[in-house]
Amino acid sequence: MDSQANSDSRLSFPFSKGIFFRLILLIIASLLTVCAPSEQSNLGVKDFEGISLEGENIRISDIAADRIALNVYGPNCLPCIKEIPVLNYLNAELKKTPHIKLYMIVDPDIFFDNPEALSTEQKMKEAAVLMKEEVKKFGIQLPVLIMKPPFKVDRTEGLVTGTPETLLFKTKPLILYYNFIGPISEESDPNKIPKNMKVIFFKKMAGQS
């Protein structure tokens, strides 16, 4: 009886082993499919472009950098204003690392109570004037882009649901890989900003060693 049982086990083992290895191969293939780097830009970011306050048209996917950080700013946004000292510090720091670019970006719609009543051209033009006032008033030092559609800050849907928010992208292709919801830090003491753990974390995530 025991001998027969052992014999049956030996006969069934190769079959079980074959199923096991086929399952392992299937799981590995599935994981490789999920984890494989995308060859396409995601979330519509390949279409993001804006106009600088100097009037230059800049397409995000054309920026010559390995990594791009986009800080989304809004007027009358207290956390956005409190974040400016940290952003100015990061702007100066990241300039030391040419492969990383930092921009402040703005959805022109948020400047107006009824943006649908204005054409895109009107909104872009007036938002640029208003943003220049913000730059002067709060001492913003990083480059600013007024964004064209389809970029939009939308509380109910879309990539960016509020301000401030900072998006980190890898390029070639342009891929969003990290999102900072809210201010990176509201530290205002210039002596403490470089030691702030949130600031250090951001620099690491942005690719500055």
The confidence score (pLDDT) of residue 85 equals 98
Q: What's the token pair of residue 7? A: 């014999």
Tell me, what's the pLDDT at 158?
80
What is the pLDDT at residue 34?
A: 38
Domains, the chain: 49-206 (3.40.30.10)
14 to 60, 105, 115: CA distances (angstroms) = 56, 61, 69
CB under 8 Å to 166, separation ≥6 — which residues? 69, 70, 71, 72, 179, 180, 184, 202
- 68 burial class (0-12, 13-18, 19+ CB within 10 angstroms)? buried
Give the whole-angstrom CA distance, residue 148 versus residue 150. Answer: 6
- Give the pLDDT of residue 23: 57
Q: Using the Cα atoms of residue 39, residue 43, residue 49 and residue 50 in order, give the sign of their dihedral.
A: negative
pLDDT (0 to 100) of residue 31:
44
Q: What are phi and psi of 57, to 5 degrees?
A: -80, 125
**What span, in angstroms and rounded, lies between the C-alpha atoms of 62 and 102?**
14
Among 112, 206, 110, 114, smallest CA distance to 167 is for 206
DSSP 133-201: HHHHHHT--S-EEEEPTT--B-SSSSSB-SSSEEEEEETTTTEEEEEEES-S-----TTTGGG-HHHHH
**Local confidence pLDDT in tens for the 209 residues of the chain:** 443 343 333 344 454 555 555 555 455 444 443 333 333 445 678 899 999 999 999 999 999 999 999 999 999 999 999 999 999 999 999 999 989 999 999 999 999 999 999 999 999 999 999 999 999 999 999 999 999 999 999 988 888 999 999 999 999 889 999 999 999 999 999 999 999 999 999 999 999 97
Contact 48/147 with Cβ under 8 angstroms?
yes
